[in-house]
Structure 1
Amino acid sequence: MQVWGRELGFSQIGVAGVDLSSAEAGLMQWLAQGFHGSMDYMAAHGLRRARPAELVPGTVSVITARMDYLPRQTPADWQAVEFDRLKRPAEGVVSVYARGRDYHKVLRARLQKLQSRIADEVGPFGHRVFTDSAPVLEAELAARSGQGWRGKHTLVLSREAGSMFFLGEIYVDLALPASAPVTAHCGSCQACLDICPTQAIVAPHRLDARRCVSYLTIEHAGPIPSELRPLIGNRIYGCDDCQLVCPWNKFAQRSALPDFDEREGLNGQSLARLLDWTEDEFLRRTEGSAIRRIGHVRWLRNVAVAAGNALAAGPDAAAGAALRAALQRRLEHPDPLVREHVAWALSR
């Protein structure tokens, strides 16, 4: 399977069993503390996330897959390059993983091809493919199948590839030998906890999604809490800080696929320009991208927050004037969510 996986662009294939009972207490505690925020589906699914055989009856093994996503042209000092973007407040910053094609589409198609290769070898079998698309404990399954260990930021870390990779799974009714897990190598490092702009990593291995910039800019549909807005800076879709600072990401690997190459116009653009995107332009520029799923209204909400933070940072006269003018043009937007965040930005 490893050879077939590499031919399809995966970095590693593993196998996990379906007994995740030891993860149930932690999952229920996380939900009880409300750390899932407005992601109500998390609570609705409850323990099904930790019980693969309940989600897909007949499942006896889970094939896990890891796919690196750094764009092919990523420079050696990419972490420094990304930190520099955060120092240019009048530009919008999109999380690295979202600058290319929607990973859901890429991984799902290639996992289906892997399943077909296996079926050619062993005959038809029961299966279901997942990529961040159902109640699946992806990181837990990845860690149990030797893809890496759970870092203190809750992401999976690999000694060979850092954390800049996507995960996918195939639930199967085949009894396969499980891969050996790897030991953890975070040691006493807590750089990810220290750098989080909103202090969302409340303890090692414990994330309060309600404070996480990725949650606030992607999953959360309503107003961003006013006390957190100044902390978001110029991050308009996701946040990579805990990964940028992680020492293991000096080993992060470039993708072998062109799918994750950075699209023109999605990163390094002025916030004033991004505020002026019409809905048609937003849909055109994000076609086939994970960004499209938040919709134009939430996009404008995020950009308005970043614009307000840029104004508070004291940009040069030309940039400040462009930002204020772009915000003024959105003051009468038909959606109250946009209007509220634009008004807040102008008050900065």
Structure 2
Amino acid sequence: MTEQTTTTTNNVPVNIEVDTSYENDSSYGDELSSYTASLTSSVIDYRHENGRRYHKFRDGLYLLPNDETENDRLDMVHELFLQLLHRRLYLAPIKSPQRVIDLATGTGIWAIDFADQHPQAEVIGCDLSPTQPTVIPPNLKFLVDDIESEWAYESDPFDFIHARNLTVSIKDFGKLLKQCYQSVKPGGLVEFQDWDGYPLSPDGSLDGTGLQQYYDVVYGAFEEAGYEVRPGVKLEQWFKEAGFVNIHVEKFVIPYGIWPKDPHLKTVGAWNKAQAEANGYEGFALAALTRHKKWTKEEVIVLASKARADGQNRDIHAMFDFYVVYGQRPENLPK
């Protein structure tokens, strides 16, 4: 099999036209249904800090909350990605998968949708937190696991491995992709979907704002703590280094807010703004800044408030780059 990389750029105009005929549309702010977890007490002995709840298994490894406020936000992020990809859960050309795993599954909403769409497949969702629902498709199960620890799936490999939205969650993506390579069948596919975490504005309207300050400060703290905050742009290289072939890269733009004139970008931007305002600013920042930078809770709230206020400014045209990358393990090469 000859190694090749296909790169496609999607919905990324050089200059996104701003919609000057703005009308308030509150519909994008409707929250998706949250799920209630019911699992063993040893696993749900959570850490409570600064008014938020965090995972206890491998305590401190993941710096975002796992409470209902965060779970609601994560379900909104799921809808954001469905809007971005025109209701597609994945882009990889999989055919009749029999065994599938969703890494860092969060609320499990992607795994549930995938299991419903592929009833013939055995689907696993794994995460540090047992915050997934108990009423799920019969072909799906959830595991509490640390995906950055050593895996034990090589003897029972997968047809498809999926991971999404791991920005600020993973310290060594290269190692993670190599573990994926070892745990996917020859000819199997692996797909990662992730951000370039820092926002940009081609017209310079983001420069010097509280919104820019927020991301500089918060992502700076994550980086100092060893987390990867810009995985999207690096995924292609990590796939190559792990040994994957037939690598396919698609780049998308996710605006912040409903300033674009294009209807699709406006909808995507609305969902992005809604999830960020669903207490996402505080949730992202609290543990990173209070644990690693010794900020007070009150200082974090002020920083988040400034970012949220700038998010209401139609003259600030912020957006993010987002990447979907998939690759195939060669069919005829040894491990």
Larger Rg: 1
Query: Could you say which structure has the higher strand fraction?
Result: 2
TM-score (norm 2): 0.28
TM-score (norm 1): 0.27
Query: Could you say which structure has the higher helix fraction?
Result: 1
